[in-house]
Amino acid sequence: MRLDEIIQQHTKALPQALQAEVFDFVLFLEQKQVNKLLMADQLYRKEQLKKALDNAVELRIFDGIDGVDGVVWQNEQRQDRNIGYEE
C-alpha cells in the first residue's frame, strides 16, 4: 500500500473534527513548502544582484563621481532636458 493510501485510511478512521485538523496540517505543510521555494528564489536573486554589483565595481563604472552631487551626476548621465512646453 502507498503512503498516501495509508494516510487516507488512518484519516478516515478519525472523527470529522480531527480530519479537519489533519487537513489544516496538510495546508500548513503546503504553505511551508511554498515559503521555502520563495525564500530560495529570493536568495538566488540577491546572489545575482550581488554579482552584478561586484561586476560594476570591478569595471570601475563609479569612478569619477566622488565629491559630485548624485543628482547632478545622474542628470548628466541621463542628459536630462526640460521637456516642458515653451511659451
The per-residue pLDDT string of the chain (87 residues; one tens digit each, 9 = 90 and over) reads 899 999 999 999 999 999 999 999 999 999 999 999 999 999 999 999 999 999 988 888 877 776 677 777 777 778 756 666 665
Instruction: Indicate the pTM of the whole model.
Output: 0.53
The CA distance from 7 to 2, in Å, is: 9
Helices (H), 1-87: 3-12, 16-58, 70-78
Residue 83: its pLDDT value, please? 66
Residues in the chain: 87
In tens, the pLDDT along 46-64 reads 999 999 999 988 888 877 7
CB 56 within 8 A of CB 62: yes
Distances from the Cα of 84 to the Cαs of 5, 73, 87, in angstroms?
A: 70, 21, 9
